[in-house]
């Protein structure tokens, strides 16, 4: 099998690769586009005389708004710097946001301020204004100082907006140092606007750290001293020179830095100003302004100019930096969430279709993707599945691309403005570009991830319990109001849990589809995904209804208990979902209640031998469980604001539960194989239904309650209704005419080849002939190409082939105390045969051993009786199924049997069992390749063969073992006196089935030197027919003493199907008795198929369907009666036979 | 795609990235070096210009460093750029000396040569240089750029045309269909030094232009030169469909103010949108016309728009009605909003 972690590794690697490619392409676009924007701006403004703006009487008025909180030490100097800006039509509004220091006192003293009565025109809701101050000194007439109660930066800015009177608002941090001509340079784009309204404009912000500042002006530019500071200098160059310029040119800019930005006052007021509830108020405002313009359908633009206009201090301590980036991440998330309506909404043009998705995908998800990448890397490292060559080249590519982007930004900066002119600074910047990924970048990523977590921890965005006006614990409230309130709260909580379940479940469905796509490349992927999605969606909505109702009931009783059960339930549901589809992908079988009928040791053996129980898989499952439980646990701590989602997700399943499932199903294309159709089912739905049915069938009180009491209908041949299979033996001798009469009793050897299906043992099968020896033997044998096994798995092969026995509830072998019966072992032994059973595996598996012990088989050979000269099958993660077929055949030849005594040997092979690991693989692989290139396969067969290589190689091995067995047997004297029966126990479900019947379609041959002539029979026969016919042959030709009363299901080989009154019941798995063949019809579940040479077509013949169903029901009733009594006939039948004296031959 | 092919692709991309890194680094170093050169050259040029401005071209001492580099094309271009910048800052004889310096180094030939270039910004720059340095003989060639598709070029050509030909240079406005930005208008307004007496004929056409930006520009032109003959035509624009045109009309009428202007504004006041009303109030405030007292009182008390109320209160204050305003503000029964506005206006003073 392909390990789950390996597949996951591949899928995850591809996801990251695709994401990386997208980032890479965006970097290229940003680089090229920004360079163009910078060059164009530079060319357009080479000769611009900004002084003409200053002297222009029509120039726009600007209001600088600078909020200040505890800036007492620097505020006087900062205001002086602002007052010295070159621009006449300017007002400077300093908003003291409830500082606890002496900021106000210093300002009042320094600028001779006095409190004035000021009519605030703006109407944005803010904290209370304590006073507005203006200076008595005409030199400071531009200055307005507002003292207000503390309300945060956004609130302070809003006060400034309300107080302002300019056309445009310049919102800055008060500690920023503006270039003297910054307003002039910003005014120009506003003067240049024509048909598009410029609603916001930003400029380049530079780092003031380590720069020489005199009189509020930067007089000498230096790089920050610390690596952290230099990294930010580089980051600012990248962000402002490349990122913002490119997005500005593309009309997609949604962020104007809060440290320095200009906004159209009218639009800001119309939008309601800054949002004080967000920590990313700068970005949120721009997005809201753009949204406003889009909704008004007015043409507008948001620009960034590449002039360095503002200098700001950046944090050079890691702790402050972390807080800042944490805040930025939360701000981004808040803005994206608040404006999610615009995301991918064409109504909002570039904003909705490009800018916001870009921010969501790369700016918001970028750090998270990177962080999860580190986690995946560590996990893969632990699991040892890292491809180091691939890893290193990717690492090199990521680092070099990052470096390239940084130095390219520096180059564009050099083209634009020469800020860092010192050679030393230039070289240190290059050095910083090299070091940044190892120090600064991890801090930023970590802080962003922390911000992501903090967002959910502190934010109300996921909703909080709405308790306004209601307290569920208030006992004074009437019962019904309390009940309604609690239910409402329960629904709010269930809404989150149900959403998580729905999301995780559908994610699991997509993973299932991806898995199938990877493992079965020839799948009709579209049909499978459609059915998978549809069937699973129906299922999960039904489950949500059930779970929702249960949750609410529990919630009414005990909230914590309800949550705990929900966490466990949802986690288990998701885990089981994953396990079920992996099981299906591995075994090609749906897992149902049959899982209950394997004991722990058997399950462990299956898992170990299939290679599922590896350390990597266990680690993966552990991680998966932890992740699921953690995710659900986290979700359980959240609550939606409204009960709506919870209610919808709970009730949506109600109609689905009431509508018949057949109404909700839609058909696969006719060309789809049965395997594809099975793959498209909801594995969980099947598992659940199967277990419910099994539960019901085990509880007769329920069955009796559901079903109407029915009178037993008896076939005239049935002797006693309490023993519905008991009848007189009347099997005709079908085989006798084909054999020469021997002087001695012929020996009998029954070879049951594991997984030998018709599809790949027949040149006309859909896979082709991969059993050359078997086919050669077939030409010399009596052969039935249209043989049906009695089950889809091995559990029924022995009782059916040797005893034609009914199934009982879960297969004859599962009956705790083997009921008295007759089989080839018991009857032949009674007639003097020595009996043996040869198997390379553990005979306790499927309870074969108790059956053999009941039959008193003389030689029970299984894996514990082989010595070291025999070869075991290769181990799969330390576990082998047992001995290879060659060993089993050899053992069957070498095991000493009494001379001159007839014998009956049954050989059950093993090598062609999942995981198809064989010795000498390369030798058989060569044979496989020879077969592929032999030209005997059609192109369609070749395709099948290529898809199922491992399986077919194991079949070639089994065939070769069979050849050697016969070669060696021929050398023995008893060969000529031996009749060989060779068949498959069932077809391999691991090779996808074309038709449902293919699961049971196996070849059957009887070979012996006693045969008069070979003959090929076209009739459909079953394994049930083998034992009766063999015994009838011995009875008629060698006077074998057979019991006169039997309980055979089969009637022996016949020439016409219509001669079979019983039909062929088939168990797909230990709990699924849903297949039935009668005449030329196959009933599978509720679907009827018409058969022609065991090729089937679905037919819609209701009369025939009813008839076949009736016949099948008759069998099921008989089988159910047997299940109940676990007796086939009265004790006396067997004991009387046992008492008979049969002369030794 | 197999892992091997993917590996090869990634290796290929890595090689390209490595190559680009080397290329960008080389370019960066080269650019950094040329920037350092420009800094040095900038200082040499600044010294040369300073000497020229202070001492005149003839008395400027020989500057070896300058003379050595003037043959370098990039140096010459930088010199040109700095010279044009300096020309804007200086007037009078210094300005004349700078123009002489321009001629002496045959920089006019450099500028004219640039007119033949294909790059828009070079042509635009050359037009600016020739205009600043008053190279009038270049006008015919500059005029050929008036219909150039690039705004950067045709706008520079327009400025030059107006600079050299005055009002006549504005005739392109009659056929100008694109919206003119404030920046464009500002540059044109700065370029024109006087209006001919018969300018009204042409301006009448522009005032009636379907291109509102041309109308606005003409109103600003009238305002700049206080061109009284235009008043009658300007008045008609108070009913223009564009609010922006009406606002500019109010400003222009104020600039052309006569005894009837305020009456005209008040008469049209009630028909105007609030933006225009605000502008009228601003203009009336500036005119300090006592005849408008009652109008201001009415607006203060009755108009719903706060900026208009504030303007009305300010006007009343400027007309000497402070006591009356104070009385109203102290009246307990008075409207709180109006009281706050009055306080705002009074204390502000």
- Interatomic CA distance for residues A864 and A842, integer angstroms: 7
Q: Test B28 with A414 for CB contact under 8 angstroms.
A: yes
Highest mean pLDDT among A913-917, B19-23, B31-35: B19-23
Nearest to B88 by CA among A562, A73, A55, A851: A55
A43-59 as b/e: b if 16+ CB within 10 A:
bbeebebeebbbebebb
Q: Test B183 with A188 for CB contact under 8 angstroms.
A: yes
For chain B, helix, strand, coil in percent to 5 are: 80, 0, 20
CA quadruple B12, B14, B15, B17: dihedral, nearest 10? 130
Mutate to test the interface with A, among B181, B244, B249, B286 (most CBs of A within 10 A): B181
Calculate ∠ Cα B329-B278-A194, nearest 5°. Answer: 150
Nearest to A406 by CA among A42, A40, A30: A30
- Residues from chain B contacting residue A193 (CB–CB below 8 Å): 181-182
Calculate ∠ Cα A724-A725-A727, nearest 5°. Answer: 105
- Interatomic CA distance for residues A292 and A280, integer angstroms: 18
Mutate to test the interface with B, among A117, A181, A185, A241 (most CBs of B within 10 A): A117
CA quadruple A179, A182, A183, A187: dihedral, nearest 10? 170
Paired sense of beta strands A1081-1084 and A1075-1078, if any: antiparallel
Contact A175, A74 (CB under 8 A): yes
Nearest C-alpha of chain B: how many angstroms from A146?
Answer: 14
Classify residue A903 by its DSSP letter.
Answer: E
Q: Test B28 with A418 for CB contact under 8 angstroms.
A: no
Paired sense of beta strands A300-312 and A177-178, if any: antiparallel
Residue A263, helix vs strand vs coil: strand
Highest mean pLDDT among A975-984, B51-60, B138-147: A975-984
Residue A328, helix vs strand vs coil: helix
Q: Which residue of B has its CA nearest to A411?
A: B28
Q: Which residue of B has its CA nearest to A188?
A: B183
Within 13 Å and on the Cβ side, how many CA atoms surround A834? 11
Nearest to A911 by CA among A984, A996, A812: A984
pLDDT at B54: 83
Please tell me which of the candidates B14, B20, B181 has its beta carbon nearest to residue A191: B181
Nearest to A954 by CA among A743, A771, A1132, A794: A771
Q: Test A58 with B178 for CB contact under 8 angstroms.
A: no
Ranges of residues in chain A with a pLDDT under 70 are 1-8, 458-478, 522, 524, 597-599, 601-616, 662, 670-671, 697-716, 877-878, 1056-1061, 1143-1145
- Residues from chain B contacting residue A389 (CB–CB below 8 Å): 7
Nearest C-alpha of chain A: how many angstroms from B58?
Answer: 28
Q: Is the dihedral of CA B147, B148, B154, B158 positive or negative?
A: negative
CB contact B37 to A (< 8 Å): no
Please tell me which of the candidates A24, A119, A411 has its beta carbon nearest to residue B31: A411
Nearest C-alpha of chain B: how many angstroms from A378?
Answer: 21
- Interatomic CA distance for residues B268 and A269, integer angstroms: 29
pLDDT at A252: 92
Contact A56, B186 (CB under 8 A): yes
Nearest C-alpha of chain B: how many angstroms from A433?
Answer: 12
Q: Test B182 with A191 for CB contact under 8 angstroms.
A: yes
Nearest C-alpha of chain A: how many angstroms from B267?
Answer: 26
Q: CA–CA distance from A984 to each of A724, A785, B335 (Å)?
A: 29, 11, 103
CA A199 to the chain's CA centroid: 45
Nearest C-alpha of chain B: how many angstroms from A582?
Answer: 24
- Residues from chain A contacting residue B220 (CB–CB below 8 Å): 58
Length of chain B (residues):
349
Instruction: Name every residue whose Cβ is closer than 8 Å to that of residue A542 and which is 6 or more positions away in sequence.
Output: A653, A656, A657
Classify residue B239 by its DSSP letter.
Answer: G
Nearest to A463 by CA among A439, A496, A436: A496
CA A198 to the chain's CA centroid: 47
Q: What is the largest CA-CA distance in chain B?
A: 92
- pLDDT band (50, 70, 90) for residue B208: very high
CB contact B36 to A (< 8 Å): yes
Q: Is the pLDDT of residue B17 over 70?
A: yes
Q: Test B181 with A117 for CB contact under 8 angstroms.
A: no
Mutate to test the interface with A, among B42, B182, B187, B283 (most CBs of A within 10 A): B182
Residue A1091, helix vs strand vs coil: strand
Q: Is the peptide bond before A787 cis (omega within 30 degrees of 0)?
A: no
Contact A684, A576 (CB under 8 A): yes
Please tell me which of the candidates B10, B180, B306 has its beta carbon nearest to residue A397: B10
Nearest to B345 by CA among B300, B303, B298: B300
- Residues from chain A contacting residue B27 (CB–CB below 8 Å): 411
CA quadruple A191, A193, A194, A195: dihedral, nearest 10? -160
A1083 phi, psi to nearest 5 deg: -100, 120
pLDDT at A3: 53
Please tell me which of the candidates A393, A408, A414 has its beta carbon nearest to residue B10: A393
Q: Which residue of A has its CA nearest to B132?
A: A47
Q: CA–CA distance from A59 to each of A167, A187, A262, A947 (Å)?
A: 10, 8, 15, 76
Q: Is the peptide bond before A915 cis (omega within 30 degrees of 0)?
A: yes
A140 phi, psi to nearest 5 deg: -110, 30
- Interatomic CA distance for residues A274 and A262, integer angstroms: 13
Within 13 Å and on the Cβ side, how many CA atoms surround A602? 13
Paired sense of beta strands A978-984 and A168-172, if any: unpaired
Q: Which residue of B has its CA nearest to A425?
A: B32
pTM of the model: 0.60
Please tell me which of the candidates A47, A116, A194 has its beta carbon nearest to residue B181: A194
Contact A146, A159 (CB under 8 A): yes
Nearest C-alpha of chain B: how many angstroms from A749?
Answer: 49
Calculate ∠ Cα A484-A485-A487, nearest 5°. Answer: 65
**Which of B:64-123 have CB within 8 Å of A?**
81, 84, 88, 120-121
Alpha helices in A341-478 (DSSP H): 349-350, 356-358, 365-383, 388-416, 423-435, 440-458
pLDDT at A695: 79
**Which of B:152-181 have CB within 8 Å of A?**
152, 178-181
pLDDT at A308: 78
- Residues from chain B contacting residue A195 (CB–CB below 8 Å): 179
Contact B281, B311 (CB under 8 A): yes
Nearest C-alpha of chain B: how many angstroms from A52?
Answer: 8
Paired sense of beta strands A834-839 and A903-908, if any: parallel
- Residues from chain B contacting residue A118 (CB–CB below 8 Å): 344, 347-348
Q: Test A119 with B213 for CB contact under 8 angstroms.
A: no
**Which of B:237-276 have CB within 8 Å of A?**
none
Nearest to A424 by CA among A227, A228, A222: A222
Beta-bridged to residue A212, according to DSSP, are A220
CB contact B182 to A (< 8 Å): yes
Mutate to test the interface with B, among A36, A391, A404, A413 (most CBs of B within 10 A): A404
Q: Test A397 with B17 for CB contact under 8 angstroms.
A: yes
């Amino acid at each position: 099998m392909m390990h789950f972690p390996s597949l996951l590794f591949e899928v995850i690697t591809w996801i990251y690769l695709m994401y990386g490619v997208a980032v890479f392409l965006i970097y290229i676009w940003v680089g090229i586009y920004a360079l163009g924007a910078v060059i164009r701006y530079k060319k357009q403004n080479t000769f611009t005389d900004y002084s003409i703006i200053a002297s222009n009487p029509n120039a726009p008025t600007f209001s600088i708004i600078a909020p200040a909180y505890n800036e007492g030490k620097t505020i006087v100097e900062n205001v002086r710097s602002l007052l010295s800006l070159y621009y006449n039509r300017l007002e400077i509004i300093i908003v003291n946001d409830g500082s606890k220091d002496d900021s106000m006192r210093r300002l009042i003293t320094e600028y001779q301020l006095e409190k004035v009565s000021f009519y605030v025109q703006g109407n944005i809701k803010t904290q209370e204004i304590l006073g507005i101050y203006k200076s008595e000194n005409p030199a400071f007439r531009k200055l307005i100082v507002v003292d207000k109660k503390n309300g945060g930066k956004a609130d302070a800015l809003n006060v400034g907006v309300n107080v302002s009177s300019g056309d445009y608002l310049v919102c800055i941090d008060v500690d920023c140092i503006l270039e003297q001509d910054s307003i002039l340079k910003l005014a120009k784009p506003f003067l240049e606007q024509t048909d598009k309204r410029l609603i916001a404009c930003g400029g380049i912000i530079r780092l003031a750290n380590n720069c020489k500042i005199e009189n509020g002006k930067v007089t000498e530019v230096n790089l920050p001293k610390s690596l952290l500071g230099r990294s930010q200098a580089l980051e600012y160059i990248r962000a402002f020179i490349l990122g913002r310029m490119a997005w500005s040119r593309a009309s997609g800019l949604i962020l104007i830095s809060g440290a320095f930005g200009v906004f159209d006052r009218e639009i800001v007021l119309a939008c309601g100003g800054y949002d004080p509830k967000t920590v990313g108020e700068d970005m949120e405002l721009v997005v809201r302004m753009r949204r406003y313009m889009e909704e008004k359908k007015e043409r507008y633009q948001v620009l960034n100019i590449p002039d360095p206009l503002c200098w700001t201090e950046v944090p050079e301590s890691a702790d402050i930096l972390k807080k800042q980036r944490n805040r930025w991440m939360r701000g981004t998330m808040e803005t994206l969430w608040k404006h999610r309506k615009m995301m991918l909404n064409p109504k909002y043009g570039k904003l909705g279709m490009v800018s916001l998705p870009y921010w969501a995908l790369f700016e918001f998800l970028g750090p998270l993707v990177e962080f999860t990448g580190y986690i995946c890397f560590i996990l893969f490292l632990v699991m040892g599945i890292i491809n180091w060559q691939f890893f290193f080249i990717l690492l090199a590519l990521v680092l070099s691309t990052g470096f390239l982007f940084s130095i390219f930004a520096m180059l564009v900066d050099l083209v634009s403005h020469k800020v860092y002119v010192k050679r030393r600074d230039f070289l240190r910047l290059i050095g910083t570009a090299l070091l940044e990924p190892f120090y600064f970048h991890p801090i930023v990523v970590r802080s962003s991830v922390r911000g992501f977590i903090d967002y959910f921890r502190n934010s109300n965005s996921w909703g909080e319990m709405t308790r306004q006006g209601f307290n569920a614990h208030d006992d004074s409230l009437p019962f019904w109001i309390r009940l309604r309130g609690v239910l409402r709260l329960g629904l709010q909580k269930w809404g989150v849990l149900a959403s998580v379940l729905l999301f995780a479940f559908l994610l699991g469905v997509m993973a299932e589809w991806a898995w199938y796509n990877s493992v079965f490349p020839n799948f009709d992927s579209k049909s499978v995904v459609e059915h998978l999605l549809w069937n699973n969606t129906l299922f999960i909505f039904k489950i949500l209804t059930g779970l929702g109702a249960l949750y609410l009931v529990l919630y009414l009783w005990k909230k914590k208990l309800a949550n705990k059960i929900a966490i466990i339930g949802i986690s288990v549901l998701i885990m089981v979902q994953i396990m079920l589809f992996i099981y299906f992908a591995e075994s090609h079988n749906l897992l149902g209640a049959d899982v209950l009928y394997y004991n722990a040791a058997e399950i462990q053996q299956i898992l170990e031998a299939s290679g599922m129980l590896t350390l990597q898989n266990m680690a993966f499952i552990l991680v998966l469980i932890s992740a699921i439980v953690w995710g659900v646990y986290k979700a359980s701590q959240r609550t939606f604001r409204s009960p709506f989602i919870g209610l919808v997700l709970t009730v949506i399943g109600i109609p689905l539960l009431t509508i018949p499932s057949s109404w909700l199903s839609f058909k696969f294309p006719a060309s789809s194989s049965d395997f594809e159709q099975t793959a498209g089912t909801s594995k969980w739905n099947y598992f659940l239904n199967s277990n419910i049915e099994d539960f019901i069938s085990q509880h007769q009180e329920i069955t009796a309650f559901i079903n109407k009491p029915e009178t037993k209908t008896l076939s005239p041949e049935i002797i006693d209704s309490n023993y519905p299979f008991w009848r007189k033996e009347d099997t005709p001798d079908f085989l006798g005419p084909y054999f020469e009469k021997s002087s001695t009793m012929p020996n009998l050897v029954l070879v049951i080849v594991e997984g030998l299906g018709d599809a790949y043992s027949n040149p006309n099968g859909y896979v082709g002939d991969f059993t050359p020896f078997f086919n050669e033997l077939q030409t010399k044998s009596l052969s039935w190409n249209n043989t049906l096994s009695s089950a889809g798995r091995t559990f029924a092969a022995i009782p059916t082939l040797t005893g034609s026995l009914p199934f009982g509830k879960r297969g004859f072998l599962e009956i705790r105390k083997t009921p008295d019966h007759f089989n080839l072992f018991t009857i032949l032994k009674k007639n003097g045969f020595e009996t043996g059973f040869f198997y390379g595996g553990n005979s306790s598996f499927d309870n074969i051993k108790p059956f053999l012990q009941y039959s008193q088989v003389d030689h029970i050979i299984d894996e514990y009786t082989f010595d070291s000269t025999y070869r075991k099958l290769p181990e799969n993660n330390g576990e082998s199924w047992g001995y290879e077929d060659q060993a089993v055949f050899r053992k069957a030849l070498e095991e000493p049997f009494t001379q001159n005594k007839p014998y009956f040997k049954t050989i059950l092979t093993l090598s062609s069992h999942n995981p198809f690991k064989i010795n000498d693989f390369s030798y058989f692989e060569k044979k496989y390749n020879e077969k592929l290139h032999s030209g005997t396969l059609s192109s369609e067969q070749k395709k099948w063969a290529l898809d199922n290589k491992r399986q077919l190689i194991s079949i070639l091995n089994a065939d070769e073992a069979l050849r050697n067995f016969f070669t060696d047997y021929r050398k023995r004297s008893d060969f000529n006196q031996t009749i060989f029966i060779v068949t498959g126990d069932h077809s391999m479900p691991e090779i996808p089935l074309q038709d449902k019947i293919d699961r049971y379609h196996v070849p059957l041959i009887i070979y012996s030197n006693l045969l008069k002539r070979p003959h090929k029979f076209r009739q459909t026969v079953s394994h049930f027919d083998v034992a009766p016919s063999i015994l009838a042959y011995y009875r008629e030709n060698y006077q074998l003493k057979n019991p006169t009363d039997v309980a055979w299901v089969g009637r022996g080989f016949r020439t016409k199907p219509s001669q079979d009154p019983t039909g062929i019941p088939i168990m797909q798995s230990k709990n699924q008795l849903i297949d039935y063949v009668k005449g030329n019809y196959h009933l599978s579940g509720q679907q009827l198929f018409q058969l022609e040479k065991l090729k089937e077509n679905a037919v819609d013949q209701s009369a025939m369907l009813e008839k076949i169903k009736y016949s099948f029901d008759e069998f099921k009733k008989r089988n159910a009666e047997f299940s109940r009594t676990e007796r086939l006939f009265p004790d006396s039948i067997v004991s009387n036979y046992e008492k008979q004296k049969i002369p030794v031959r | 795609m197999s892992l091997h092919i993917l590996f090869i692709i990634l290796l290929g991309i890595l090689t390209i990235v490595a190559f680009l890194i080397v290329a960008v680094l080389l370019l960066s170093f080269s650019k950094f070096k040329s920037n350092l050169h420009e800094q040095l050259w900038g200082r040499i040029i600044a010294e040369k210009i300073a000497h020229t401005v202070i001492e005149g071209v003839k008395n400027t001492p020989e500057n070896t460093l300058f003379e050595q580099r003037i043959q370098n094309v990039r140096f010459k271009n930088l010199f040109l750029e700095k010279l044009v910048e300096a020309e804007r800052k200086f007037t009078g004889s210094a300005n004349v000396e700078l123009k002489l310096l321009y001629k002496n180094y045959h920089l006019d030939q450099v500028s004219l040569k640039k007119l033949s270039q294909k790059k828009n910004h070079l042509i635009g720059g050359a037009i600016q240089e020739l205009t600043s340095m008053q190279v009038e003989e270049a006008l015919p060639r500059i005029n050929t750029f008036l219909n150039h598709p690039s705004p950067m070029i045709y706008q520079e050509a327009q400025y030059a045309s107006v600079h050299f030909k005055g009002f006549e240079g504005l005739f392109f406005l009659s056929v100008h269909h694109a919206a003119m930005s404030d920046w464009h208008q500002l540059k044109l307004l700065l370029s024109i030094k006087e209006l001919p007496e018969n300018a009204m004929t042409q301006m009448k056409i522009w005032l009636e232009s379907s291109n509102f930006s041309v109308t606005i520009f003409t109103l600003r032109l009238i305002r700049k030169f206080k061109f009284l003959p235009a008043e009658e035509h300007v008045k008609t624009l108070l009913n223009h469909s564009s609010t922006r045109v009406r606002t500019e009309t109010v400003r222009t009428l104020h600039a052309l103010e006569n005894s009837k202007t305020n009456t005209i504004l008040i008469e049209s006041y009630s028909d105007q949108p609030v933006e225009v009303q605000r502008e009228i109030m601003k203009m009336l405030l500036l005119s300090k016309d006592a005849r408008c007292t009652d109008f201001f009182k009415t607006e203060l008390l009755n108009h719903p728009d706060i900026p208009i109320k504030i303007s009305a209160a300010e006007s009343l204050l400027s007309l000497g009605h402070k006591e009356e305003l104070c009385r109203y503000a102290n009246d307990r029964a008075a409207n709180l909003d109006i009281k706050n506005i009055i306080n705002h206006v009074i204390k502000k003073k």
